[in-house]
């Protein structure tokens, strides 16, 4: 899998050299390219922003360097057979999910466009969505090779797309074969098939007693059937309290906003 990130703060991505993802890169399971958007500017100040039409606070990222950057980073030679996804993190996007992370892994190539200021001129997403739609399903050499996903990391506004990009990379890369010590872990994590897409219930390790709190007896019973039933009930109870929205969303539901292609 290859991930290219376009940003005005390349040094944000230094932590990718650490831990599981660092090892995945060293072992050749994951290739990451970090690109400075300013290399695609052509004025002496390497300007990437301008005032918004219609007024309003702050500055917007101008589409000109973005078009050059994305044309170059998306058009890999040779093109990956499984296609490319352009991911545009934005608080106004569709919520990024575990299913999205899985879809990214099955795609050969991901490009992440990190916005700053008040975001990226809307024509950038519009342009690449139109390009993706024009080729999807057609007998065109680029057919189905490009998808565009505007995704939100959380219902809060960050200062830039870099933290969202790091989170998206980590969520996808840990699913690559050989990255996790136990290949079954994601099945048993929150949102995994073991819990039918719900969040995981509480987990415990030694010591059995800690500050007056005791590990539930059923987990120490050795009765695997009872443990499975207890864990399932705990997952449902925790989901009801923490994430009732997950109980309302049937697996595979597509929120279906216009232009919100799944990664």
164 counts as binding ligand SAM under rule CB under 6 A = yes
Stretch that binds ligand SAM, among 68-76, 123-131, 156-164, 199-207 (CB under 6 A): 156-164
Bridge partners (DSSP) listed for residue 144: none
Extract the runs of DSSP E, i.e. beta strands, from 126-216: 146-152, 209-210, 213-214
What whole-number distance in Å separates Cα of residue 135 and Cα of residue 205? 52
98 vs 152, beta carbon nearer ligand SAM: 152
174 is catalytic: yes
Q: Binding ligand SAM by CB under 6 A: which of 59, 76, 82, 158? A: 158
259 counts as binding ligand SAM under rule CB under 6 A = no
CB of 94 to ligand SAM, least distance (A): 10
Q: Are 222 and 228 in contact (CB under 8 A)?
A: no
Q: Binding ligand SAM by CB under 6 A: which of 49, 118, 188, 200? A: 118
- Residue 79 carries which DSSP code? P
16 vs 120, beta carbon nearer ligand SAM: 120
Q: Read off φ and ψ for residue 252, nearest 5 degrees.
A: 85, -5
Nearest residue to ligand SAM, scored by beta-carbon proximity: 115
120 vs 179, beta carbon nearer ligand SAM: 120
92 counts as binding ligand SAM under rule CB under 6 A = yes
189 is catalytic: yes
112 vs 173, beta carbon nearer ligand SAM: 112
CB of 166 to ligand SAM, least distance (A): 11
91 counts as binding ligand SAM under rule CB under 6 A = yes
123 counts as binding ligand SAM under rule CB under 6 A = no
Instruction: Say whether 14 sits in a helix, a strand or coil.
Output: helix
| Contacts for 177 with CB less than 8 Å, ≥ 6 apart | 29, 183
Does 78 sit behind a cis peptide bond, omega within 30 degrees of 0 on the bond before it?
yes
Active-site hit among 52, 91, 133, 142: 91
Give 23-26's long-range contacts (Cβ < 8 A, gap of 24+): 23/179, 24/173, 24/176, 24/178, 24/179
Residue bearing tokens 């969202």: 164
89 counts as binding ligand SAM under rule CB under 6 A = yes
Residues in contact with ligand SAM, total (CB under 6 A)? Answer: 20
Give 188-191's long-range contacts (Cβ < 8 A, gap of 24+): 189/98, 190/98, 191/97, 191/98, 191/99
Residues that bind ligand SAM (CB under 6 A): 89-92, 114-116, 118-120, 152-154, 156-161, 164
| Residues designated as active site | 91, 118, 174, 189
């Amino acid at each position: 899998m290859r991930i290219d990130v376009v940003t005005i703060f390349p040094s944000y991505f230094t932590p990718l050299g650490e831990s599981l993802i660092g090892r995945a890169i060293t072992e050749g399971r994951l290739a990451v390219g970090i690109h400075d958007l300013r290399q695609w500017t052509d004025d002496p100040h390497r300007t990437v922003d301008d005032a918004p039409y219609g007024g309003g606070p702050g500055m917007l990222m101008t589409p000109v360097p973005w078009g050059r950057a994305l044309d170059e980073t998306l058009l890999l030679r040779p093109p990956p057979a499984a296609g490319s996804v352009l991911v545009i993190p934005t608080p106004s996007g569709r919520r990024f999910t575990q299913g999205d992370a899985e879809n990214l892994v099955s795609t050969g190539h991901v490009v992440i466009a990190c916005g700053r200021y008040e975001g990226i001129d809307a024509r950038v997403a519009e342009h690449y969505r139109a390009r993706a739609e024009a080729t999807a399903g057609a007998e065109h050499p680029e057919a189905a090779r490009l998808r565009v996903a505007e995704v939100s990391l959380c219902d809060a506004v960050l200062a830039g797309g870099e933290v969202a990009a790091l989170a998206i990379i980590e969520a996808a890369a840990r699913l690559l074969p050989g990255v996790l010590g136990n290949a079954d872990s994601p099945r048993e994590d929150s949102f995994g098939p073991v819990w039918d897409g719900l969040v995981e219930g509480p987990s415990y390790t030694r010591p059995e007693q800690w500050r007056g709190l005791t590990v539930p007896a059923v987990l120490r019973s050795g009765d695997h059937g009872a443990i499975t039933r207890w864990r399932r009930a705990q997952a449902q109870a925790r989901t009801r309290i923490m994430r009732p929205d997950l109980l309302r969303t049937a697996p595979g539901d597509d929120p279906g906003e216009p232009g919100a292609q799944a990664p």
